Amino acid sequence: MDDGWLYSDGGRQRFNATTLKQYGYTIYPNNTISNYSNCVLAFGGYIPTVISNGSWYNSSGCDTPVRQIRTRGIIGIVVAVIFGVILVLSLVALSKHGKSFLPAEKRFRLVGRRWPWYWCIITASVGLISGFTAVDVDRVWVLGTAAIFHFIFYLVTLPTCLSAIWEMTRNWASFEERKGVDEDFTRYRQDDLRSKIEFYEPLIFYLFNFLSFFLSILRAWNPITRSNVHVITDARFQASSIFSLLAWGTVVVAHLIARHYYQPRSTPWKIPVTLLIIVIRIAFNIGSAFDYSISQLRYQATPAYIYCLGYLPVILVLFIILYSGWKEPNEDQELLRLRNTRNATLDQEMSAIPERKSTGKYSAEKKPDTYRARRASRAPAHDYWSGDGSTEPV
């Protein structure tokens, strides 16, 4: 301060000290002026002017992109393109598996097998937004709106991806039940312990998943953009990461229960593989919530952490779900195929049963002999048409 002036940018810019103090503005060492409501750049070609009412003109906000694109932004574009491809493939899979070829059943609703693809679409959409907003995270002078959107949509990819895995697992168990009921309508009751467990499983999973979403997403984000260590590793983020682990555990338990009750000949590999992959992202979230040095919410965070341990597991899980959706048939068509197989087997068994021979008084074997005996015992009849007066038996 010198003669009522405050300076920034190494003394090359000066501002009225009285006006700045009146409205709570402070000049920071990074050549920005802020009162936690407004923040402007004050260096180089960014020369703002403050007037007596505390407002600015010819100013640029602190979240204005002024740097060159960096590693985070370049990889973010690649990730956004990958999520865009996943989004298109998810729509194709929804079109394939969401069609109905059989009459609607109250017990097995069509929307049930559509939900895995709905969650894949949601995950791909938020991942695409997060990837594109990563471009401006390293370009801005001070983290702002772009960083908030990038971090928010990045964090949302975990609960949505977990939901896709859960619905995929639940739908597999539902189809196993459907195949059993189609073969024998009385095989699985709707008032037993199995049905009660399956009623509460989604409630428990979505409770844990929602708590994870609520604690990490629905909160004040301005302190996070300042890379405040006490906020980034606070109890809310820690509890959120633990609830994600509990939601993952619910999927594992539900899968084991389904295997116990339905006893399938084989378990699809997609379920254990996706559960193992997504636990990498969950472990990274837990580590970030307790260790500031590896937190993905820091301004100085290494891009390798967030992309290899954050985005890559989600991308791999979605690709596995999509690949299995491409290889597997529509459920209704598969059910029709199983019905045709059972009917063909039944026809073969029926055709293999030998015909019973009649041993009664009027059996077919005795009819020809009896008929010939009757003809031989008859008296000869006169043939009126031969002209020679010959006779032949009738």
Domain ranges for the chain: 5-57, 71-332
pTM of the prediction?
Answer: 0.81
Give the per-residue pLDDT at 372: 53
Residues of the chain with pLDDT under 50: 362-367, 371, 379, 381-394
Structure tokens at 342: 């059972």
Give the angle subtended at the CA of 187 by the CAs of 186 and 191, to the nearest 5°.
75
At the top level of CATH, the class of 71-332 is: mainly alpha
Give the per-residue pLDDT at 273: 96
Give the per-residue pLDDT at 171: 92
Give the per-residue pLDDT at 357: 55
Give the per-residue pLDDT at 246: 97
Give the per-residue pLDDT at 281: 96
Give the per-residue pLDDT at 369: 53
Give the per-residue pLDDT at 387: 46
Give the per-residue pLDDT at 355: 58
Give the per-residue pLDDT at 1: 52
Structure tokens at 271: 């379920």
